[in-house]
Structure 1
Amino acid sequence: MWNFLARNKQVAAMLGLLAAAALVVIFLTTRGGGHTVVEKFMDEIEDISDEAHIFSTLSLPSDDRFMPSVGNGHIATNVFSDTVYMNGLYNGRKGESHRARIPAWANIRLKSTLTNHPYSPVYSLDTKHGVFQVTVDRDRSVVTQRIFAHKFYTRTIVNQIQVVPKTHADPNFVHHEIWIAISQMAGPDSKDIAFESPIPEIIDDTIVWKACGKTKETEDPVYQPLPVDVCAYWTSVPDHLVVPHFRSRVFTFVMTVDKNETVARQEFVKILQEDGEELFEKHVERWLKLYQQGGMEIEGHLELAKIVHGIWYYFMSSLPSEGTHLPADKFFGLSPTGLARGGTFDDYEGHNFWDTEIWMFPSILLLYPRYAHALLQYRLDNVYVAAELAKLTGNKGYRFPWESAYTGSEVTQPCCPEVAEFEQHITGCIAFAARQYLAMTRDENWLKHGGCSIVTNIADFWASRAVINYTTGLYDIENVMGPDEDHSNITNSVFTNVVAGYSLYLAQYVSCLCKSYYMAKSPDHWADIAWSLAMPYDETLNYHPQFQDYKRGDFIKQADAVLLGFPLQYPMNISTRANDLTYYETVTRSNGPAMTWSMHSIGQLDIEENLKAAKLFNKSYEGYVREPFKVWSELRRPRVGAVNFLTGMGGFLQTLMFGYAGLRIHLDRLEVNRPQLPPEATRFRIKGIKYLGSNLTLDIGIMETTLTVSSIDANWPLTMNNGRYNVTLVPGLTVTLSGSGPFTIRSLPWKNCKLPADTIGQNYLRPIGL
């Protein structure tokens, strides 16, 4: 394991010259509700690895925001930063709530990487093994540092330093001990947590340190009357490591942290009993298991393959581990910049937005439905807060806040009250995620333990928000803001009305699924409202105005009306879809967030404009992915916005999975429609698609596309139409897909419940869908 990053010295010397600083440009940028950031832009560093899952460099980014993170869903840190963040640990009242900073007692640096030594360190991120590595080839030794957030011992961040002496060719050479200088760089005291002064302890003959404290301010006095306890343990770190000249040695330094002091200590004691190499192997084993369960492989386009590996790595670093040493803590969701960030306004403070359900959730659901379940569980855990918010705003059911964190209450910054007030579509987005989850899993247990209730209460909210317009005879939804945050307090946002209508129809469907154990209130009434919701449509121009009274030519922030085609799959004529795409591309401002162009690319693929789709596909990631560690920014270079932008990553994955692979989720089927290779790729493989308990692999090549079945759930037998005839899917079978499809995979009807009509807006004749 230690030697997988050896590099050619000539390449090192050449690339070291190329790492010189270039022109510095300073830009001011904003996202939506005033998120501001300044970037000192310099030429990016090159990734010199030719392996898809390893990112290697001889120089670190000049901007440390583009350093990678290590995390395991419980704790995370950016490599070499002075900050550790923990799942569910926030400080600050309401709109000031943000992830609480823990000093990085795990931040240990080799001094040879901090000063102008005559060595050329190689820095690498291994996304399959979940480890950051530094290798320094010195005169008398090779020193390798591994940094990782343990995937099994999830309260733990580990630093391991291996020193391997070199054999000297001169027999007269005088051997001395090898000294390696190191520094612990924990940073200043936390402003968020009132830690007591660290105290030393001796555990198993090892000097360790402990610091415990409490967060300084609770998020909401009603839902969180008391601060949160935090306790950390870490090993003592000397100034130098001393190694005999004749043998190698591995030094292991660990930091554990938890809200429970006993848990943090138990984990720490267990770690001290582990052999250093076995400790690492247990971590690697968990990461490899994730890659065995699912993943995406691209051949013929190394850059694209690396980006995909990076995205899944950053996702998995913020999602909870499966099978941990001690029971996992409650999960508090995915924020737009992941678990390793969130202490500042620029990083969205670790809050949850619609980003989770619309942008990250679908791809995660396809390969890792248990993580999709965990994301929905965060919403279920906070329904009592959503019920109170609906009541406070004069509505029924559940209204979820635009931003939420520890308590589930509204934590949008004081700067942006209109966002918190009007951007209500998040409640419909949560129902849409539930719809997709039920379509892919038919999880009866989830329905029984909150699913029935959350779906029907969201429908009650939208039913109370829709007001009959006696002039048109249709229901209006007023005082909202769509995904385009440049227009607030509008009426009949097309995106909002469709997700609201889908929510109402879904409740009607779920009331049938749940009727043996859950009594729904008025399922037909929900459908009646959905059927009669107003739906802006311009018959002359054959396109969807973004909202009622939208002025054609007004610029917008990001994808909004185009989301009707995907992900909402709202039926419309191909000409209407094409007009929506063409028009909104011309009025979307250039400094919008990353995920917009992913949706435009999917749309162009749907209407078979493949050249245009490829151009937009390239636009969806070029300038957003920062080298050498494939860290995404919210905005295209030279602007920055939020960093490690999981939202943009999620949109990009959807372009691959739902655009080029052509996958489509429906309540009664899974479709593969016009599967094709991404630009320049020679093979595209999605392994571990989980549909109704089955495990499938879609393999798209130059000459043919196949679907391979690894396993089938006996409760849900599957049949597939391969373009010619129906095939019963059984384990071990490989089906060749002939033609462009759609290729449909179906199972038995679910409880013989009638599928929702999903017809919204009777103010114009519904055309036949795509």
Structure 2
Amino acid sequence: MLKFLGFVVILAVLRGCNAQTSAAYLLQSHSLPTDRNFMPTLGNGHLGYTVYGDAIFMNGVYNGGSGNSKRARIPNWLNITTEVCDRFGCATDAEAAVNGTSYEMDLRDGYFRSRTTYNGLGLTLEQRTYPHKYYNRALVYEVVATRNSENAARANSPQFLRLSQHPGNASDAFDFVVVSNGSSASGDFRTIRGRTEILEFERFQPTPQEIYILFSQYLEQPLQLEWPTWQAELRHRIIICMDREQSVALKELQDVLQLSASSLLEKHTDAWHNFWNRDFSIALVGNAPELSQIINAGIFYLANSLPSLSTNQKNEPFYGLSPTGLGRGNLEADYQGHNFWDTEIWMLPVVTHFGFEYGKQLLDYRGRKLEAAKYNARSKGYKGARFPWESAYTGTEVTNPCCPEVAQQEIHISPDISFALQKFLAQSGDWTWVCEKAWPIAAEVAEFVVSRAACEEFRPVCHLLNVMGPDEDHPDVDDNVYTNAVSKIALEFAEWAGGYCGNDSTELFANWRRVNDRLVILHDTELDYHPQHAGYVVNTTIKQADTILLGYPLRYDLSNTHLNDLNIYAKVTRESGPAMTWSMFAVNHLTSKEEWVGHEYFERGYKNYVRPEFKVWSETPLGYEGSANFLTGIGGFLQAIIYGYGGINFVRNNDKISMIVSFGTVPLGVDEVQVNYLRYSHSTCRWVFSNRYSRMNCGARTGPDFYMVQGKKRTLLGRSFNVTLVKGDEPVHITF
């Protein structure tokens, strides 16, 4: 009994964080989604789960061979519910207040809670769950029961709490054994060891993966906590810690249990507050409360799958962002937790603004899997590195056996990664990183593109044959224009990076340049547009954004031809396409100063894709089957705000990088957008824009001075500067 009383605290501590949370960061509902897949997904880069779901997942832990590899499901022992009971039974929903239970996702504090008030019993029951952002091997469940009136302290008022665990079925991914049953007398903990059942690919994974799970308290059957009627409040917590190393999980649990419940929560909320206050946030001024919540929820769901940069113990290597995040991955709808081009093209441009270290963690995953990508190329008779369409633990191809043509033909993933390396350089200005990390990947990607290209013998023309572009409705086509364009960008970047980093292989560079110069970019001169692929017929329906990506993000063609592409492909993109498609139409129209069309596509890109209760994204519009917690759609949506409405971009021109700052505009109903913060080189910037002005405020403690280039005029700005644009001003380039 004394063991439980140690967790009794003043309820004000529990409510303190919530009281400070503004409506823009607090998602409240009195009902749950009919499809529980659209409950919030929580994570900390090491562990993740969906609230009330049956699975916990750990960064980088997969089970299954080749295309059957998927995130290894750990039963969700954190899925705990509490009832208030007395000797006659437990309280029912009928005894709750009129509105029943309130469910809250607190984005600013980083936790999910439910709160039930039983008016007739004079008490409130609160339950909270979260993966700790600082103690990131720890998952936390807390419950607080409070008597709300003096009349509640009577003989027949609730006398105990009953905690029950709902972990779901046994896992088919692990062989679990009990290492220790735990003993309160010895201070030991219930410890389980799990080994994955099936290797992904023995050449790159010779042994199973092993994890250890430690419980502060293990509920083999419902736990009964005595609650004397004279006691106003009762609080209890259960901590579960997991790691590949038993010693790491044990230290985490010991460190956590040394803290009071309020201190543990404060350490977690402080970490999230630091993210919102120092790393990244977007604030809207004006009458757009729902849009504000959707933006904040999108940032939160994207960020909580990333590694915490400040942790109690050193992080393990990160295994990338899958389309539905770290807390999902057991289902085909979750893409089994695999990594796609979604990481580099759709999420990385936003994640990099959270901080360059976040971006490096995503790109480092590709660097660590370079040898596997080279193996993938050799196994198909090619040179260089062919990154798989779907990648998991080993970096070899793990595309679902249902769809072999996707794995064989979507070769644009390799130049996509090279393109992302160049964009990261253009934003970070990290010249040391480009030679140590980017150049080795870019060189191998260029070698793959050259070996994959089919060059005609008697004409100066090269093709990429039998490919599939982003539009997966059209397999086995030749010269998909997106694939060819991003390949040309990758070849140019590899040649530049090689020269910059001191490689003097003129023959190698000449070979890359020859293919780059000759690689076909289809253009219909009569209609002045880019056919999506050889033989494409105008008005043929397509799945998603493909050719229009030549404008943004590739910046390959910004001419009138690009505007014609937008108009032609808008008419034929199917209604059931993924969310990020309409965001890309929005960005491209907004940056082309076609603002009203941009507004239309921007709203289309989120209004039919976000579930109302907790602002969780779906891959497809409501009414269609699709993935939940679709981070890819979130990435496209946030790019539409930052790069479309905000009008900024980052470019490399030989050995110079620059930030392009254009006069921005704002979504309908919004007076001003405040982006805190943009990362550019050695500075941190605040970007504020409206329909009347755009202001860039940047500051840096160290590094070279910045210059502003506008037309032929070059102005010294110094390390810290303010730039204001009004409507009609030409874009400026900030460089150094």
Relative to the length of structure 1, the TM-score reads: 0.87
DSSP 3-state at the match of 1:534: coil
Query: Take 1:94 and 1:195, find their aligned partners in 2: how far apart are those partners?
Result: 23
Q: 1:723 to 1:276 in 2, by over 3 A?
A: farther
Query: Take 2:354 and 2:188, find their aligned partners in 1: how far apart are those partners?
Result: 43
Match of 1:436 among 400, 423, 427: 423
Query: Take 1:433 and 1:567, find their aligned partners in 2: how far apart are those partners?
Result: 10
Match of 1:217 among 189, 193, 198: 198
Report how far residue 654 of structure 1 moved.
Answer: 0.9
Superposed CA offset, 1:265-321 (max 9, x none):
221121121111111111111111111222211222111111111111111111011
2:295 counterpart of 1:298? no
Report how far residue 64 of structure 1 moved.
Answer: 0.6
Match of 2:487 among 479, 497, 500: 500
Letter in 1 for 2:235: V
Q: 1:674 to 1:682 in 2, by over 3 A?
A: same
Q: What is the percent sequence identity of the aligned residues?
A: 34
Matches within 5 A, 1:650-665: 650-665=635-650
Q: Which residue pairs with 1:744 in the alignment?
A: 732
Superposed CA offset, 1:604-632 (max 9, x none):
21332211111111111111001211111
Q: Which residue pairs with 1:91 in the alignment?
A: 63
Query: 1:722, 1:738 within 8 Å by CA — same for their partners in 2?
Result: no
Matches within 5 A, 1:426-575: 426-470=413-457, 472-515=459-502, 522-574=508-560
Match of 1:118 among 95, 101, 109: 95
DSSP 3-state at the match of 1:240: strand
Q: Which residue pairs with 2:3 in the alignment?
A: none
Relative to the length of structure 2, the TM-score reads: 0.91
Q: 1:173 to 1:403 in 2, by over 3 A?
A: closer
Query: Take 1:569 and 1:114, find their aligned partners in 2: how far apart are those partners?
Result: 61
Query: 2:692, 2:726 within 8 Å by CA — same for their partners in 1?
Result: no
Superposed CA offset, 1:631-688 (max 9, x none):
1111001113111111111111111111000111101211122301112111101111
DSSP 3-state at the match of 1:304: helix
Report how far residue 207 of structure 1 moved.
Answer: 7.1
2:218 counterpart of 1:239? no
Match of 2:688 among 688, 693, 699: 699
Query: Take 1:264 and 1:519, find their aligned partners in 2: how far apart are those partners?
Result: 49
Report how far residue 434 of structure 1 moved.
Answer: 0.1
Query: Take 1:506 and 1:429, find their aligned partners in 2: how far apart are those partners?
Result: 12
DSSP 3-state at the match of 2:336: helix
**Farther off after superposition, 733-742 or 260-269:** 733-742
Superposed CA offset, 1:238-259 (max 9, x none):
5333334344343111111112
Letter in 2 for 1:142: T
DSSP 3-state at the match of 1:129: coil
Superposed CA offset, 1:190-244 (max 9, x none):
1111111474212676674221120000101111121111211113245333334
Matches within 5 A, 1:561-600: 561-574=547-560, 576-600=561-585
Matches within 5 A, 1:39-78: 51-78=23-50
Query: Take 2:111 and 2:490, find their aligned partners in 1: how far apart are those partners?
Result: 42
Q: Which residue pairs with 1:106 in the alignment?
A: 78
Q: 1:227 to 1:173 in 2, by over 3 A?
A: closer
Match of 1:151 among 105, 116, 133: 133
2:604 counterpart of 1:619? yes
Report how far residue 370 of structure 1 moved.
Answer: 1.1
**Farther off after superposition, 495-504 or 454-463:** 454-463
Query: Take 1:235 and 1:55, find their aligned partners in 2: how far apart are those partners?
Result: 30
DSSP 3-state at the match of 1:461: helix
DSSP 3-state at the match of 1:128: coil
- Segments of 5+ residues of structure 2 without an aligned counterpart are 1-12, 85-89
Q: 1:518 to 1:100 in 2, by over 3 A?
A: farther
Q: 1:713 to 1:742 in 2, by over 3 A?
A: farther
Query: Take 1:476 and 1:539, find their aligned partners in 2: how far apart are those partners?
Result: 19
Q: 1:472 to 1:601 in 2, by over 3 A?
A: farther
Match of 2:704 among 716, 731, 738: 716
Q: 1:177 to 1:428 in 2, by over 3 A?
A: same
Q: Which residue pairs with 1:335 in the alignment?
A: 322
DSSP 3-state at the match of 1:202: coil
Query: 2:663, 2:694 within 8 Å by CA — same for their partners in 1?
Result: no
Query: Take 1:450 and 1:269, find their aligned partners in 2: how far apart are those partners?
Result: 37
Query: Take 1:317 and 1:518, find their aligned partners in 2: how far apart are those partners?
Result: 43
Query: 1:207, 1:235 within 8 Å by CA — same for their partners in 2?
Result: no
Query: Take 1:225 and 1:544, find their aligned partners in 2: how far apart are those partners?
Result: 47
Query: Take 1:524 and 1:473, find their aligned partners in 2: how far apart are those partners?
Result: 14
Q: Which residue pairs with 1:37 in the alignment?
A: none
Report how far residue 512 of structure 1 moved.
Answer: 2.4
DSSP 3-state at the match of 1:587: coil
Query: 1:492, 1:534 within 8 Å by CA — same for their partners in 2?
Result: yes
Report how far residue 380 of structure 1 moved.
Answer: 0.2
Superposed CA offset, 1:472-529 (max 9, x none):
42111112110011111211111001110000100111112211x7868622432232
Matches within 5 A, 1:386-425: 386-425=373-412
Query: Take 2:117 and 2:728, find their aligned partners in 1: how far apart are those partners?
Result: 53
Query: Take 2:562 and 2:718, find their aligned partners in 1: how far apart are those partners?
Result: 37
Query: Take 1:728 and 1:243, find their aligned partners in 2: how far apart are those partners?
Result: 69
Query: Take 1:456 and 1:742, find their aligned partners in 2: how far apart are those partners?
Result: 36
- Segments of 5+ residues of structure 1 without an aligned counterpart are 8-48, 749-770
Letter in 1 for 2:142: Q
Report how far residue 59 of structure 1 moved.
Answer: 1.2
Match of 2:263 among 274, 278, 284: 278
Report how far residue 118 of structure 1 moved.
Answer: 2.1
Query: 2:18, 2:109 within 8 Å by CA — same for their partners in 1?
Result: no
Query: Take 1:528 and 1:182, find their aligned partners in 2: how far apart are those partners?
Result: 69
DSSP 3-state at the match of 1:3: helix
Query: 2:548, 2:585 within 8 Å by CA — same for their partners in 1?
Result: yes
Letter in 2 for 1:677: V
2:180 counterpart of 1:194? no
Letter in 2 for 1:129: D
Q: Which residue pairs with 1:384 in the alignment?
A: 371
Letter in 1 for 2:53: S
Q: 1:6 to 1:351 in 2, by over 3 A?
A: closer
Query: 2:241, 2:249 within 8 Å by CA — same for their partners in 1?
Result: yes
**Farther off after superposition, 602-611 or 674-683:** 602-611
Q: 1:241 to 1:728 in 2, by over 3 A?
A: farther
Letter in 1 for 2:734: R
2:123 counterpart of 1:136? no
DSSP 3-state at the match of 2:14: coil
Matches within 5 A, 1:311-322: 311-322=298-309
Q: 1:174 to 1:434 in 2, by over 3 A?
A: same
Query: Take 2:267 and 2:17, find their aligned partners in 1: how far apart are those partners?
Result: 20
Query: Take 1:114 and 1:420, find their aligned partners in 2: how far apart are those partners?
Result: 54
Letter in 2 for 1:627: P
